[in-house]
Amino acid sequence: MGASRTRMVGFLAGPVFMIVFFTVSFVAGSTIPYIVQKHWVTPLSNFFEPSHILLMLAFLMLIIAETGRIPVDNPSGHFELAMIDESKGLEYSGKAAALMKWGGSMKFFVLLCIFLNVLVTPWGLAQGETFLEVLLAIPFILLKVFVFVLILVVIESSLAKLRLFRITEFLGAAFVTSITAMITRLLEM
């Protein structure tokens, strides 16, 4: 049951992923992450556009759903009938279980880095290719991740888990929010 629920959430999150990433490239006018990041940094007024704020909200909802966080799933729950994302780890043990946990953590970290360094806080990254610049950027990225994890803890602590059939509405709201961001960007032009 948990594997089929995981497939359902993944199936519903896939189109939202495509629309969110398409909207990111559409709003910024490029598909290259470096240029997308520069789009929101250079004139700071671009950062506060309604399309950008809606896009950040849609991506946040997508991260919450795709990584199995509350309100979609309760990662600390151990009731097998209610599990969605955590149920994948029940079939494995030893090295395979460690790889499953590591894969889920890496997925969360990659989505978080894209969200934080491209959309939310695009400043503080290395501006060159020297080792010193990259080394100085690492504390800024870790600070951003730490602050976001604290915000995620507040979100998870203040919400209750949704019923299974409400997850489609949650992901539908993320889809509609990203479409609204695209339409808002068209109207701003």
92-147: pLDDT as tens digits = 778 888 888 888 889 889 989 888 888 887 777 777 778 888 888 888 888 999 99
* Cβ pair 81, 1 in contact under 8 A: yes
What the block records as the tokens of 156 is: 């998870």
pTM of the model: 0.79
Q: What is the pLDDT of residue 40?
A: 66
Which residue stretches of the chain have pLDDT < 50? none
CB-based burial, 60-70: b 16+ in 10 Å, e otherwise:
bbbbbbbbbbb
Eight-state DSSP code of residue 68: T
**R_g over Cα of the chain:** 18
What is the domain partition of the chain in residue ranges?
2-188
CA distance 82 to 164: 9
Q: Report DSSP state, residue 72.
A: T
Please report which helix (H) or strand (E) contains residue 178, including its range: helix 167-188
Sign of torsion over alpha carbons 176, 178, 179, 181: positive
Helix/strand/coil percentages in the chain, nearest 5: 75, 0, 25
Closest by CA to 174, choosing from 4, 89, 54, is 54
Rounded Cα gap, residues 51 and 183, in angstroms: 8
Cis peptide before 71 (omega within 30 of 0): yes
Query: Residue 125: helix, strand or coil by DSSP?
Result: coil
Give dist(CA 130, CA 9) in Å, integer. Answer: 41
